[in-house]
Chain A
Amino acid sequence: MKRIKIFSLCFTVLLSLCALSYGADAKTFNIGALFPMTGPQAYYGRVMSRGAQMGCNHINADGGVEGYKLKLIISDFKNVDVMLALSAMQKMILIDKAGCVLTSFSAINLGVQPVCAEKHVLMINGGAYSPKLAEKPYLYSTKVSQNQMAPPMLRHFWDMGIRRIGIIHIADPAGEVPVETLVKPLWTQMGGTIVATEAHQPGLTDYSSYLSRIKEGKPDALYDISTGQDQAFIVKGAREIGLNIPMTVPDWNDDFQAIAGKTSENVYVPGDHFNLESSDASARRFIDGYKAKWKEAPDIFAANYYDAVYNMLPELIKRVVRKGANPADGAELEKAIWENPAFKTVYGGEIKINRDGSSNKPIAIFKIVEGKKTVIKQVVSE
């Protein structure tokens, strides 16, 4: 009797597991999303998922796209855990039958890209900006890369009369590669001098030893390539040891501002130029809707994923359906990009996808003024 009970239990579990894979609604287009929802990078997961979810909500409220309702399936990869991302990706492909996934963070993009390439799943990255993401099949980025941000920033420093820079970067290839292949060659070609280069351990709160060595070289400006809160602690630490020179960091947000406080003055940030005051109707719908729902303004990461879900993906689905093909097939979605690689964007105008997977869109150099990112120069991305 006991054995029969155990057998029945196992059989039921097996049946329910089998049923899971066949229960999907045929008119639902599942969009996978790999975000860091918990851990030290949770800020990014929060804003990215909110942007993507809002995109889904707006499309569905408008009646869907070609009869499909969009559904966002979010998977958490914690503190950039590639193993977790790999198994989540398998689940999104095999169980959820996602034809498109929204990805973030360079290590995660690079880790799951071969899986997506093999299974023909389109990846749209709106967060990672490593130059290593270029030329990867099925991977397309709507975030401008370091390759696009470094040249205008260095030119701006040059125009400010800066000739000697110190470099501090995260001690891993994500920091080393852009420094060695981009910042150093560009700056020396321009005739500038690099007085010191320091590779720092990530996740510290005190960077004074690295910064003191840079200070010895008497730089005119500091170029930082770090990630997350490290940037804020480096800015704060530089000011504390009297390094009151112009600095540039790859990213800035309210969480970092809370750490750096008044020390963030004279900090420059090159990056995607998302105008919160935009008068464009679709941008206003996003900005106002986001503010109303989350009681805060959307940042570039929220905007990038909203763009991916609201502007880019529906257009691709339309093109694929028009051809009579299956939009859940990532290969078809990828092919559809090249019918016209320009898409509407909440940044204003169009975002153009390049053959190497990067994109051209409005970028700007911001200066932190009284804790707020203020545009000082608009640039056309190269």
Chain B
Amino acid sequence: MFYGLINRKSFGMIFGILAVLLILPLLLPRFYIYLIALILITGLLATSLNLVLGYGGMYQFHHAVFYGVGAYTFALMLTKTKLPAWNAYLAAPIAAALLGLVMGAICIRLSKLYFGMLQISLGSLVWAIVFRWYSFTGGDDGIHGCSVPDISSITSSYYFTLVTTAVCLVLMYLIVNSPFGRIFQSIRDNPGRSEAVGVNVKLHQLTGLVIAAAFAGVAGALFVTVEGCVFPDLLFWTLSLEVLIMCLLGGWFTFLGPMLGAAVIITLRTVVGIYTEYWTLVLGIVLMLLILFLPEGVLGYFFRKTESRE
């Protein structure tokens, strides 16, 4: 079901893309650099969701809550403590992973849609706490002016985001192709049979959830690095839905599909959205065509075609 990512051709393509991304700040106006940084961050978030959704077969419907918790942890560390910024970069994924552990331990008792529904409920609870705890989180105002001094400019935050995202993607790729990743995929395909051969299904699923939450936390910290602020929308369920659509659009059975989905949605939302009020109509048509003609997503279709040709 999954299509291989690394072969000689795709290896060259990935390095080509990286090289282009490295020189882009020399060529493009700063707004587009900012936009690409946003795409990278949201792509990282979508790829982390795809770890549990595409590779684990778990309906993680409220993944944005880990993104938001990572972002808030980072912002609170920057604004309420005098510790160096790297502490905040460590704290963000740890806080998100801890929340992933707690929520996962509760939700893992259920499966399929029931898992997803409980996840949405718990995630919404976290959102409500952040939204209402005015003295600590700033309530609906959020927290502003929390930029990292050395990387507050658009270009430097872009390079920082690019390097961090690349490292995270490599780590996630290694995880997916590790023995743990293979077992994780076997659980997705047949949990009963996996259990019969001695796999601890719940433990593997919980580990997968914690790992995905930690990477979402990294994405949250990157968001604050680029935007310099956090607000409760980052933990709201509608963002989770948007990220889910990114996975489906790009191809949830491919490793880089969610990154492509993020690029399409962020570009549509920002560029098309600026020029027309009806960008959601464009997105709706794109999604409709996709469901009808490319149910495995753009990259899924591309890899299937390449595979059948070979």
Residues on A close to B: CB < 8 A?
10, 14, 17-18, 20-21, 37-38, 75-76, 81-84, 86-88, 90-91, 94-95, 106-107, 110-111, 113-115, 118, 132, 172-174, 176-177
Contacts and interface: CB of A to CB of B under 8 A. Distances in A.
Contact of A132 (B141, B227, B277, B278): B141
Contact of B277 (A38, A94, A95, A177): A38
A82 B231 contact: yes
Interface in B216-272: 227-229, 231, 233-234, 239, 269-270
A248 B39 CA distance: 45
B202 interface: no
A266 B231 CA distance: 38
A114 B145 contact: yes
Contact of B141 (A75, A94, A107): A107
B29 A17 contact: yes
A94 B239 CA distance: 26
A111 B142 contact: yes
B140 A172 contact: yes
A88 B270 contact: yes
B131 A172 contact: yes
B121 to A, nearest CB: 15
Given A14-B27, A38-B280, A95-B29, A88 B145 contact: no
Contact of B30 (A94, A113, A176, A177): A94
A350 to B, nearest CB: 31
Nearest to A19: B29
Given A76-B273, A87-B38, 12 more contacts: A75-B273, A83-B234, A88-B270, A90-B31, A91-B31, A91-B270, A94-B34, A95-B29, A114-B228, A172-B140, A173-B141, A174-B140
Nearest to A79: B238
A86 B32 contact: no
A185 B34 CA distance: 45
30 contacts: A14-B27, A14-B28, A17-B29, A17-B32, A20-B29, A37-B277, A38-B278, A38-B280, A75-B273, A81-B233, A82-B142, A83-B234, A83-B239, A86-B229, A90-B34, A91-B31, A110-B141, A111-B229, A111-B231, A114-B144, A114-B145, A114-B228, A114-B229, A118-B228, A172-B131, A172-B139, A172-B140, A173-B132, A173-B140, A177-B134
A94 B273 CA distance: 17
B154 to A, nearest CB: 8
A114 B270 CA distance: 20
Contacts of A173: 132, 134, 139-141
Contacts of B269: 84, 87
A94 B30 CA distance: 7
Interface in B20-49: 20, 27-32, 34-35, 38
A354 B274 CA distance: 33
A235 to B, nearest CB: 24
B233 A83 contact: yes
Interface of B: 20, 27-32, 34-35, 38, 131-132, 134, 139-142, 144-145, 227-229, 231, 233-234, 239, 269-270, 273-274, 277-278, 280
B100 to A, nearest CB: 22
A95 to B, nearest CB: 5
B263 to A, nearest CB: 14
Nearest to B280: A38
Given A114-B228, A114-B229, A18 B141 contact: no
Most chain A beta-carbon neighbours within 10 Å: one of B32, B140, B239: B140
Contacts of A10: 20
A106 B144 CA distance: 14
Chain A at the B interface: SS class:
helix
A20 B229 CA distance: 28
A72 B102 CA distance: 49
A15 B74 CA distance: 37
A94 B35 CA distance: 11
A148 to B, nearest CB: 20
A95 B34 CA distance: 12
Contacts of B131: 172
A84 B269 CA distance: 8
A75 B35 CA distance: 16
Nearest to A83: B233
A91 B139 contact: no
Contacts of A86: 227, 229
A354 B229 CA distance: 27
A110 B280 contact: no
Nearest to B29: A21
Contact of B274 (A75, A110, A111): A75
Contacts of B132: 172-173
A91 B227 contact: no
A107 B277 CA distance: 20
A106 B231 CA distance: 13
Given A94-B34, A172-B131, A107 B29 contact: no
Given A82-B142, A91-B274, A18 B27 contact: yes
Most chain A beta-carbon neighbours within 10 Å: one of B28, B31, B227, B231: B31
A88 B274 contact: yes
A130 to B, nearest CB: 9
B101 to A, nearest CB: 27
Contacts of A107: 140-141, 231
Q: 5 closest A-B pairs (Cβ-Cβ)?
A: A173-B139, A94-B31, A21-B29, A114-B144, A37-B277
Nearest to B32: A17
A76 B229 CA distance: 20
